Amino acid sequence: MNKKRIYIISSTLLLIGLFAGVVQYVGMFDALYAAAVNPGHSWSQMECSTALCIDTVNSRVGIGTKTPQANLDIAGNIKLGGENIVCNNNSLGIIRYWGGEIAVCNGLSWKQIVRAPIVGTFTDSRDGQVYGTVILGGKVWMTENLRYSPSDTLNPLAQVSNTVPYYYVYGAISGGSKSNYSNIIPRYGLLYNHAAALTACPSGWRLSTDSDWISLETYLGMPSKDLYLSVVSQQPQTRGTVEGMMLKSKTYWSAGYEGIDSVYFNAPPSGYCQETSCVSNQAIFWGSTSSLSYSWTRGLSNNSIYRMPMADYRANSVRCVKDL
């Protein structure tokens, strides 16, 4: 046997020995890894760091955990995108948390997937009145009709001015004091002409705009579209039946037309007044968006929520809102 052949055989045996040693080491490493770190796994089946684990045996990914128990197991805080994320076909399936809501993009608009409105209270420092509040559609809304007036005197409904603030109570066509209507005001709130509505909300709050109402309707599931209607026609524009039921209170409405009260808006049939007559079984809320002597309102009837312009001298309810 020549020296060259001996060298080749020796080299081959050395490589075989090294390979056997590596295999043995890997086996020992796997055994130690499985016993001490991730039972039932080898290092080749699970790649782990303190921040990320990929479990190829069970098809699991762990973030912040070395032992993921689900397809995606996240330990710690999760931050979802905010209001600047645009929902369109490119963001289909994206989830965001904003304004107390968790919503998913369906390719067209945000759809809430966890309906758990954040409720609270607010005390009006002007008169000590306490109002319920709720976060809906990225805004904080009062869950009760406003009942503030700068004095105890309520005006007769014969007033038709659209520039001087007047404060009313449903059915009080001859005027009087708020104490005379102690059983009505806590339930339905006061009624305001538009001039009064614009300045009646407490500091930090404001009269809702037409855009606020559209955002609320979109939050409730209506198509996200702005509707335009000539203020001259004064024709009501029906917005939605189910959504209207979601805003109504569960009490005081006619039998069979009670609200489902699912979002805590809790609107009662507070009525509205024009000159010397009042209409019940409806609720009409002023908006701050105006044109000429008309302003956009939102109305709740037995069957739906509707949008229409009304003359500024009429007496409607007020819901105050503020931005987050």
Give me the residues paired with residue 320 across strands: 207
Mean pLDDT of 20-48: 50
Task: Name the range with the highest mean pLDDT among 46-60, 133-147, 287-301.
Answer: 133-147
**SS3 (DSSP) at 89:** helix
Calculate the alpha carbon distances from 120 to 132, 143, 204, 248 in Å.
Answer: 6, 10, 16, 19
- Lowest average pLDDT, out of 39-43, 45-49, 78-82, goes to 39-43
Q: What is the pLDDT of residue 200?
A: 96
Q: What is the pLDDT of residue 294?
A: 85
For residues 98 and 78, give the distance between their C-alpha atoms in angstroms, rounded to a whole number.
13
User: Which residues contact residue 233 at a Cβ distance below 8 angstroms, ignoring those fewer than 6 apart?
Assistant: none
Check residues 218 and 287 and name the one with the higher pLDDT.
287
The token pair at 40 is 């039932």
- Lowest average pLDDT, out of 7-11, 217-221, 243-247, goes to 7-11
Q: What is the pLDDT of residue 116?
A: 60
Q: What is the pLDDT of residue 29?
A: 43
- Lowest average pLDDT, out of 3-12, 120-129, 182-191, goes to 3-12
In terms of Cα–Cα distance, which of 146, 123, 119 is closest to 135? 119
Q: What is the pLDDT of residue 237?
A: 66
Query: In 159-216, where do the E strands start and end?
Result: 167-168, 176-177, 191-192, 206-207
Mean pLDDT of 301-317: 87
User: What's the predicted TM-score (pTM) here?
Assistant: 0.65
Identify the residue whose tokens are 């762990």: 62
Q: What is the pLDDT of residue 190?
A: 94
Strands 119-123 and 60-63: unpaired
pLDDT band with cut points at 50, 70 and 90 for residue 315: very high
